[in-house]
Structure 1
Amino acid sequence: MGADEEHLKESKALYLAGASQSIPDTIIDRFTSTMAVAVGSNVAESGLINGGRQLALTLPQVLFGGIADTIGKRKLIIAGRVLCGVSFAILAFVSSPLWLLAIVVAVSVSIAMAAPAWGSLVGDYAGELRRGTIIGRINSVAQIGGLVAMVTALLITLNQSGPMNMASFTPLLLLASASSFASAIFISLTEERVPTSEKRCSLDFGSLLGDKDLRKFLLVSFVFGFGAATASPFFSFITVGKLHMSVWQIAASAAANLACSVVGQRVFGRIIGAVGRRPVIVFSRVGMAASTVVYALATDWWQIVAVEAFVGIELAAWACGQSTYIIDIAPQKLRATYLAASMTAVGVSNFLGSYIMGILTKGFIASTDYAAISMALLFTAVLRFGFGFLFLTMRESKPTS
């Protein structure tokens, strides 16, 4: 692809679509662990629910990415967002770990339908020389939707009292449902590059894995994701169990995270254009060790808010770095498939790390054994820090002119 690669002009519909679909994505991401505790899950069940969400969110993306690259992006995004709206409406009525797992998986699969197509659609608007800046700007505006969701969650739940249960989340889940339907409408008003391939899905895994840059990125992402996800079963037991955080306090921590992410993606979009993709990606992964250390040692809820703000910066760096790097190395007609393969590697590794850690610790770490949970989190911090440096083995993809 040359520097003069034609790209589409950004529109209000594109930004509104990104912001509205960020609302349900943020709610399911931020509150799945908390809802697992609210329905009475143990450590193993919490690990299964979190791991199952990650697996359902990412494993189907290779299939859906291939479909998007052949039939077009908007159709798949619209279908995924409509199904997402229906699933969120059903989620408001679950009351057991088994049903929570089933509907969370349904929500995640519907998001997986749209995710690679959205990433590829954003690529249609980003020319090569200013790719990092444009992707950062679009993602930053999209994240505002998630920030609005968390501020809304804070205001809705600020005066809630009594023990946390699924009823505490009903307003948020209905908001997510409505936003999903709205995003489908906005997507229908955007433009896309029409695929030039035949109207059929044909996945060539041999060709994908034959790309040395992609293969290395997938391997390193898998290793890091597995190590990082070993902390997943424990976070909610710190926030809800040890610190007794309410829904509004959890929403406040998520709002701090997203506020920093909104600002950070604009900043990192420019940094990526100046220093390259690899340094930003390494920074984003190594810094994730901080969250597990603070969660392990936290004694008050405001400490969680503070570290989530820092994590927002790390996630902004990853969002800009990962998507820009993949779009750099992918042939234009396979962008959605490459993005999906990247997310699948992360999702499968997150599922395995979360589920295996939940199973291994089920027999000797109780949900109220906070000293043992803190030790497990510190162990994960070491893995995150060490494995983050593996991204230094990637080839830098920043254009030279």
Structure 2
Amino acid sequence: MDKKSSRGWSEDALKPNRILYSVAAFTYFSDKLLGSFLFPYAVVTGVSFDQMGLIRSTRNLCQNVLQMGWGEISERFSKRLLVFLGYLLSGCFIVALLFFRSPAHLLAIIILQSIFWSAAVPAWNSLLADYTKLETRGQVLGKIGSVSQLSGVVATVIVAFITYTRSGQVTADSFTVPFALSALTAAIGAFLALPLKESKIKTGVRSKILILSPLLDRSFRNFLIVGGFYWFSLAFAWPLFPYVTINVVHASVWQIAAIASLSGLVVTATQPKFGTLIDKVGRKPILVIGRASLFLLPLLYAFAESWLHLLAINALLSLSMSASIVSLRAYIMDSAPLGHRANYVAAVNLVSGLATSIGSLASGVFTSQLSVSLGVERALFIGLIFSAILRLVSSSGFLLIRETLDKSRGQGG
């Protein structure tokens, strides 16, 4: 018999299978490599603070703002088709990074890649919701997250192994291996998504869906407001991290890969544990602690002097990242009724995209202006410290959000 909550959606779920885990693995393999090497690559090509802020800001905006529309399309037509098209076309533009290296070309390629990648994300998260139910959602998401993170570890270990023997100064050509692998695995993940099943929504339920339905949910709207302030502060440090990696500690490609590998390994090992924990104690406590502790990342980066420092910092803060990833995804899925899930995911990404876009752009302009009078190194240090303060203050807002697990249980969901 179908289980339904008082809000009227079914909590029956498809059973997670090998294909689902394979798609998670290959797509994250691609995402991990691109995310780990794209911005160090931009620093090597010579972009300035304000150019980096613009590139990062534009990527955040394009990846996220379009997800409201993509989420509606995926719910109306096919989630797995959007995952397929999104990752396949994203991989094509990753290949283009190998041939165009000026800041203007980078910006254009990043915009196009981000647009198509943004089509896949709400569809994929909605597919994951189809394969979970409330009582065990944290556990399932923890397992899927663990598989994904493990694939990311494998990706960066492969890059580290291939590039370890390469000596000399890091150049744009040094990034050929990670970008080529990222493009290949994006395409593989895209084709693997085609056989996946997805939940069918009855016409009566589907006809009530509005693209802005998440904004009509008062509790979820409060969450978006709190999240918006936090995502702004989170993104303020993002344009600055690659300069520490390349210009301060002078990390090589294999060292960047090693940092990403250890970070991914920690997340892989801890996501199932955090998944089980949020099913017991709730989403909110873990979300608050995970988000608040991330203020340490820019703070410690400001004092880093060696790539080994970055290795230790990222390994330590990966615990916070792991907790944040699992609790945030479960919180969103708990809040969204069947047929609206992609819309809720897209609403989060819309707000986070706008907030992180503004945050990254503000950071680039702020640090660039400081560098004129104080010098590049001093401006970088101040920017990171300011970002740490912003993160700590804004994370307190998560104390105001509602606990979705207790609410859902109380309604018999």
Gaps of 5+ in 2: none
1:194 matched residue in structure 2: 200
- 1:8/1:206 Cα in 2 relative to 1: closer, same or farther (>3 Å)? closer
Return closer, same or farther for 1:324/1:161 CA change in 2, 3 Å cut-off.
Answer: same
- What TM-score results when the alignment is normalised by the length of structure 1? 0.95
* 1:2 paired residue number: 4
For 1:396, the equivalent position in structure 2 comes to 403
Query: Could you tell me how far 1:202 is from its partner in structure 2?
Result: 9.8
CA contact (8 A) 1:66 1:201 kept: no
Residue identity matched to 1:15: Y
Offset at residue 110 of structure 1 (A): 1.9
CA contact (8 A) 2:11 2:134 kept: yes
Task: Indicate the RMSD between aligned Cα atoms, in angstroms.
Answer: 2.0
Query: Is the Cα contact below 8 Å between 1:242 and 1:368 reproduced in 2?
Result: no
Asked whether the equivalents of residues 262 and 311 of structure 2 are also in contact (C-alpha less than 8 Å), the reply is yes
CA offset at residue 368 of structure 1?
6.3
Matched, 1:120 2:122: no
Which has the higher mean CA deviation after the structures are superposed, 272-281 or 355-364? 355-364
Match of 1:382 in 2: 389
1:259 maps to what in 2?
265
Aligned-partner Cα distance in 2 for 1:167–1:195:
48
Of 13, 28, 33, the match for 2:34:
28
> Superposed, which structure 2 residues align to 1:2-401 within 5 Å?
2=4, 5-197=11-203, 204=210, 206-365=212-371, 369-398=376-405, 399-400=408-409
> What is the one-letter code of the residue matched to 1:341?
A
Contact kept? 2:209, 2:339, Cα under 8 Å? no
| C-alpha distance in structure 2 between counterparts of 1:205 and 1:119, whole Å | 16
**What displacement does 1:24 show?**
1.6
- For 1:324 and 1:206, the matched residues in 2 are separated by 20
SS where residue 404 of structure 2 aligns?
coil
CA distance in 2, matches of 1:207, 1:336: 11
| 1:309 CA drift (Å) | 1.1
> Which aligned segments of 4 or more residues in structure 1 are displaced greater than 4 angstroms?
200-203
The TM-score normalised by the length of structure 2 is: 0.92
Quote the offset at 1:162 in angstroms. 2.5
Note if contact 1:32-1:50 (Cα within 8 Å) is conserved in structure 2: no
- Percent identity, aligned pairs only, is 32
Deviation at 1:134, TM superposition (A): 0.9
Q: Aligned pair count?
A: 401
Question: Matched residues in 1 for 2:182 and 2:210: separation?
Answer: 35
Gaps of 5+ in 1: none
Instruction: State the Cα deviation string for residues 252-301 of structure 1 (Å, max 9, x = none).
Output: 11111111111121111001001100011111111111111110011111
Q: Secondary structure at the match of 2:370?
A: coil
> Offset of 1:373 from its aligned partner?
1.2
TM-superposed CA distance for 1:12, in Å, is: 0.7
Q: Deviation per CA, 1:80-130, whole angstroms, max 9, x where unpaired?
A: 111012111111112211111111222222221111111111111111111
After TM superposition, the structure 1 stretch with the greater mean CA deviation from structure 2, 280-289 or 358-367, is 358-367
